[in-house]
Structure 1
Amino acid sequence: MAYRQTDKVAARLADTRRGILNAARALVAEGGFAALQMSEVGKKAGVATGTLYRYFSSKEALCRELFREVSSREMSVLADIASGDGSASERLVKVLRTFAGRAVRARRLAYALLAEPVDVNLAEERAFFRRTHAEIFARILEDGIESGELPEVDVRIAAACIAGAIPTALVGPLAPQSHELDGDTGRVVGEIVNFCLRGAGIAHAAGANDIDERRTMA
């Protein structure tokens, strides 16, 4: 008779896998992907280092899964806002402010996701999620143009520019050695938001300097 995994065993395996990912995320949030060593993940998760390889074939596989998971959660937050109520400009402000605001509140994790030098596999993941960012902005711009609220622009190019401007602007402030965010984080967020709004044809929007009080990066 073929072995069938019981619900109890499946739940235990899922819990262990979840614990490994949580431990890996905590290490990256403290010191970036460079701090993610399998032996340290094992210690933090409370499992033997050898056990990690039953769930993830390599450190690279663990990093890739973690990158996908955290980035997907961030994309989900932004996509929910983009498809919500409000005018196109209101939704654009909320998405921009949430993206930048969550990053500055979880600066080490955000720097790892957005800018830390990584291997080719993670670079591919980063490029994929950059395109996903652009698609979110494109949908808002299309809504605004269709309603007559926003001026006619090449949506694909404008969305790509906005999606690229945010992480590029955040690289310096988020860097581990930077102290730019030690003081007025609202100013940094506001400058990024207002620059992107001008690129979309909006001179300024109320609340651009406010940081969304949603939870930080997952």
Structure 2
Amino acid sequence: MAYRRTDHVSARLADTRRRILNAARELVAEGGFSAAQMTEVARKAAVATGTLYRYFPSKEELCRQVFREVSAREMNLLVGIAQGEGSARERLDKALRTFATRAVRGRRLAYALLAEPVDVGLAEERGRFRRTHGEIFAGILEEGIASGEIAPLDVKIAAACIAGAIPTALIGPLAPQSHELEENADRVVDEIVHFCLAAVGAGQPHNKNNDLRRMTA
């Protein structure tokens, strides 16, 4: 007869896996992915190192799962904003501000996700993370163009630019050795939001008549 796990055993295995992931995430939040050494994760999760390797055969696989879970949580927040109430401009403003503000508040973890030098596997996760950001922004931009709040533009390119501009702007302020956010966190967020809105012509409500005048001038 084939072995079948009982509900109790399955729950215990799931709990151990969750403790391992929570421990790894806490270490990344404290010192970046470089701090999530397998022996340290095992110690923090209160499991044997051999047990840890049965759940995650390598540090890369463990860190990729941490990256996926943290980024999925952030993406879900932005998707909720994108699909929520308000004009396209208001939702774009809120999505940008939420992204930047959460990065500033979770500074060390955000730096790990956005800018820390990583191996190829994590770089792939980071690329997917950024592309998904772009897709969220693109959806809002399309609605803004349809409503006349945003001037016509290449939505795919504009969204990719926004998704790339935010991490790039935050690299310096989020860096562990930087002190910029200690006194200027609000200003950093405001400047990022202002720049991105202005870049897509959403700094102020868009008037379609302006496009006609420009084309016939």
Q: If the length of structure 1 is used for normalisation, what is the TM-score?
A: 0.92
Following the alignment from structure 1 to structure 2, what is the Cα–Cα distance between the partners of residues 18 and 204?
Answer: 46
Following the alignment from structure 1 to structure 2, what is the Cα–Cα distance between the partners of residues 136 and 81?
Answer: 10
Aligned residues: 205
Matched residue, 2:84:
84
- Say if 2:11 is the partner of 1:6: no
Runs of 5+ unmatched residues, structure 1: 206-218
Following the alignment from structure 1 to structure 2, what is the Cα–Cα distance between the partners of residues 198 and 54?
Answer: 50
Shifted more, 147-156 versus 92-101: the winner is 147-156
Matched residue, 2:128:
128
Matched residue, 2:98:
98
Alpha-carbon shift at residue 204 of structure 1 (Å): 5.4
Matched residue, 2:37:
37
Structure with greater helix share of residues:
2
Following the alignment from structure 2 to structure 1, what is the Cα–Cα distance between the partners of residues 150 and 61?
Answer: 43
| Contact 2:100–2:189 (8 Å) recurs in 1 | yes
Alpha-carbon shift at residue 13 of structure 1 (Å): 0.4
User: SS at the partner of 1:15?
Assistant: helix
Alpha-carbon shift at residue 203 of structure 1 (Å): 2.2
User: SS at the partner of 2:145?
Assistant: helix
Alpha-carbon shift at residue 184 of structure 1 (Å): 2.6
Q: Could you list the per-position Cα deviations for residues 45-86 of structure 1 after superposition, in whole angstroms to 9, with x for gaps in the alignment?
A: 010111001110111100111111111111111011001010
**Which contiguous aligned blocks of 4+ residues in structure 1 show a shift greater than 6 angstroms?**
none
Alpha-carbon shift at residue 42 of structure 1 (Å): 0.6
* Counterparts of residues 43-82 of structure 1 (less than 5 Å): 43-82=43-82
Following the alignment from structure 2 to structure 1, what is the Cα–Cα distance between the partners of residues 15 and 184?
Answer: 39
Distance 1:50 1:204, change over 3 A: farther
CA RMSD of aligned residues (A): 0.9
Matched residue, 1:159:
159
Q: Could you list the per-position Cα deviations for residues 153-199 of structure 1 after superposition, in whole angstroms to 9, with x for gaps in the alignment?
A: 11011100000000000000000000000113110000000000001
Following the alignment from structure 2 to structure 1, what is the Cα–Cα distance between the partners of residues 113 and 60?
Answer: 14
Following the alignment from structure 2 to structure 1, what is the Cα–Cα distance between the partners of residues 82 and 117?
Answer: 30
| Contact 1:194–1:204 (8 Å) recurs in 2 | no
Runs of 5+ unmatched residues, structure 2: 206-217
| Contact 1:172–1:178 (8 Å) recurs in 2 | yes
Following the alignment from structure 2 to structure 1, what is the Cα–Cα distance between the partners of residues 38 and 129?
Answer: 25
Question: What percentage of aligned pairs have identical amino acids?
Answer: 74
Higher RCO (Cα < 8 Å, 6 or more apart): 1
Following the alignment from structure 1 to structure 2, what is the Cα–Cα distance between the partners of residues 204 and 151?
Answer: 11
Matched residue, 2:202:
202
Give the greater-gyration-radius structure (CA).
Answer: 2
Q: Name the aligned partner's letter for residue 97 of structure 2.
A: R
Following the alignment from structure 1 to structure 2, what is the Cα–Cα distance between the partners of residues 63 and 103?
Answer: 19
Following the alignment from structure 1 to structure 2, what is the Cα–Cα distance between the partners of residues 137 and 182?
Answer: 29
Q: Could you list the per-position Cα deviations for residues 17-36 of structure 1 after superposition, in whole angstroms to 9, with x for gaps in the alignment?
A: 00000000000000000101
Q: If the length of structure 2 is used for normalisation, what is the TM-score?
A: 0.93
Following the alignment from structure 1 to structure 2, what is the Cα–Cα distance between the partners of residues 8 and 43?
Answer: 24
Q: Name the aligned partner's letter for residue 124 of structure 2.
A: E
Matched residue, 1:168:
168
Following the alignment from structure 1 to structure 2, what is the Cα–Cα distance between the partners of residues 202 and 144?
Answer: 9
| Contact 2:149–2:202 (8 Å) recurs in 1 | no
